[in-house]
Amino acid sequence: MNDKNRKYWRILRTVAIVLCILVFTPLIIPEGVYKPELLGIPYSLWTSFLITVALVVITYLGTRVHRSNEEEEVEP
């Protein structure tokens, strides 16, 4: 992995971890609260849906910078 890709991978990793942590906070799961709704969807559902989509997108971006091109190379 070159330096640029290594940097992007670190950023993606940090974003993924931050998104996962956010899910456990009242920002995403306020107790007993279901508003504001988006297109009629309760708050925790639409926010967590967006986070799931973001995680999949980040995974895709990860495939672009992680070591998939270094076919099975063993790093020391």
Other CB atoms within 10 Å distance of the CB of residue 12: 19
| Rounded Cα gap, residues 2 and 69, in angstroms | 11
Q: Please tell me whether residue 6 binds other proteins under the rule CB under 8 A.
A: no
**3 touches 72 (CB < 8 A):** no
* Per-residue interface string for the shown chain with other proteins, residues 32-61, x marking contact by CB under 8 A: xxx--x-xxxxxxx--xx-xxxxxx-xxx-
Q: Does 5 bind other proteins (CB under 8 A)?
A: no
- Name the site residues for other proteins (rule: CB under 8 A): 13, 16, 20, 23-25, 28-34, 37, 39-45, 48-49, 51-56, 58-60, 62-63, 66-76
